Chains A and B, each alone.
Chain A
């Protein structure tokens, strides 16, 4: 049996997926300042979960913004490409993907698992997970609860600031005037959704539309985004691993392409060893 691994080092989370004919294991851990050390650790855990050793892996593809910091990967592929690939295997009907990550957000148009076009914001924290993280923090609410809380809002309290820094100040002063937290969170989701939608609408948006990344785990944000596009949006069962899954599947494709010609791809990454910036 051939096993393929995908490692997605995002700005906030590191994800590893191991596939054969199916998903053998998937693991999510926080991204530390030392990417390489962490990639190594998450990979070890994912192997343990699949009861495999490093030598059982046929090919490893790294993706995400920290992809160059995976010394044991055989190839690096951009997260946009991997996202498209991963999504095609999870939700084949999807033509437009909205990915809300920890420090960026993207819109990707896909056709048959390939990227047709994309837009991206990694310049400004507004419209990214970081925005939600900061607001949740200043409201004293855990990030993973804000989705549910926003569903209890009686109305959306409009938030006029775009900038995360200004929005935080705005939220605090609105709290002081007695605005319920749920309404404020609904307002924040609406603000993030507006910002992301205006970016994604630069693409020729076609249904089905899916949401991935950490933002897709926030039901309030997914609903707010749905209202901007006038339809219900799809969410994969585990929205965080789309990129890592795509990376593993890209590795499988590469391997099979070589195999069809009776060859084997050259493996670059040799050992699963710890590396640090300070070496």
Chain B
């Protein structure tokens, strides 16, 4: 048995993946909180626990993400973009454009037929297309962020937002609610506003099928549908959309461990 560990410390969540002989053995996703060093350790501990092994059984560890360089027990670090590309290529070898909607940032990545990063754009200037937008929606509607997707599917007349700004959308949503708009219609409108933001990112890296959506945003079925509609193309979503970069980090660790 040869096990490796991949860790992705994101701004919202930390993820860890254990591979055994290059195959997924276990994974864990935990909120990052304020301490990235601890978040990476905790995610790793949980994934190891689920695999029934300890850190001493791990041949090699690669860390990535916002707080990746704080994981002091990692043998190596990699950028979350290349980890993403590696993870996506493993899951969907035909993927060429990846749309990743994270807690604070959204980005678009072009991947080639060998899983290398062709080009990427990250939107770090604006919360418009990021998970922050969904957090705002959940807060003003007093619902759980995990329930947004299902609820949005009940929309009959999605609200048209005039803004892509998360701050202005909040006041706009409050005004629409006071006029009697249904929560489902508000959420569907927010999904559409986010979709147009992230598809613009994807257009800037160059649209090329197949398309894959990852990150916490890909767990929101309403958002996935909106992005697919905006793209006018089929959008693939991994079974565990949050762990793509951690999986990629683990795959990189696996390749390195063979040398």
Contacts and interface: CB of A to CB of B under 8 A. Distances in A.
Contacts of B166: 163-165
A227 interface: no
A277 B176 CA distance: 11
A124 B179 contact: no
A124 B126 contact: yes
Interface in B104-133: 104, 124-128, 132
B256 interface: no
B144 interface: no
Interface in A161-185: 162-166
B104 A125 contact: no
Contacts of B168: 103, 122-125, 130
B167 interface: yes
B37 to A, nearest CB: 15
B160 to A, nearest CB: 15
A53 to B, nearest CB: 32
Contact of A33 (B125, B132, B175): B175
A125 B179 contact: no
A77 B159 CA distance: 28
B151 interface: no
A86 to B, nearest CB: 26
A164 B179 contact: no
A134 interface: yes
Interface residues of B, number: 18
B211 to A, nearest CB: 26
B165 A125 contact: yes
Contact of A103 (B126, B171, B174): B171
B126 A163 contact: yes
A163 B132 CA distance: 11
A163 B127 contact: yes
A123 B197 CA distance: 12
B179 A33 contact: yes
Contacts of B158: none
Contacts of A33: 174-175, 178-179
Most chain B CB atoms below 10 A, which of A122, A124, A134:
A124
A162 B125 contact: yes
Interface residues of A, number: 16
Contacts of B167: 125, 130-131, 134, 164-165
Which of B132, B171, B174 has the largest count of A CB atoms less than 10 A from its CB? B171
A125 B132 CA distance: 15
B163 interface: yes
Interface in B162-200: 163-168, 171, 174-175, 178-179
Interface string A103-137: 10000000000000000001111000011001000
Contact of B179 (A11, A103, A130, A277): A277
A103 B167 CA distance: 10
Given A124-B126, A125-B168, A130-B168, A165 B163 contact: no
Contacts of A11: 171
Interface in B225-248: none
Which residue, of A11, A123, A125, A277, has the highest number of chain B Cβ atoms within 10 A? A125
Given A163-B126, A166-B127, A123 B104 contact: no
A278 to B, nearest CB: 8
Contacts of B179: 33, 277
Nearest to A134: B167
Contacts of B124: 166
Interface in A23-37: 33
A124 B165 contact: yes
Contacts of B163: 122-123
A113 B175 CA distance: 35
Contacts of B164: 123
B48 to A, nearest CB: 30
Contacts of A277: 179
15 contacts: A11-B171, A33-B174, A33-B178, A33-B179, A103-B171, A122-B168, A123-B163, A125-B165, A130-B167, A130-B168, A162-B125, A162-B126, A163-B128, A166-B127, A277-B179
Given A122-B168, A163-B127, A166-B127, 16 more contacts: A11-B171, A33-B175, A33-B179, A103-B168, A103-B171, A122-B163, A123-B164, A124-B165, A130-B171, A131-B167, A163-B128, A163-B166, A164-B127, A164-B167, A165-B132, A166-B124
Shortest Cβ-Cβ A-B pairs, 3 listed: A125-B167, A165-B127, A33-B178
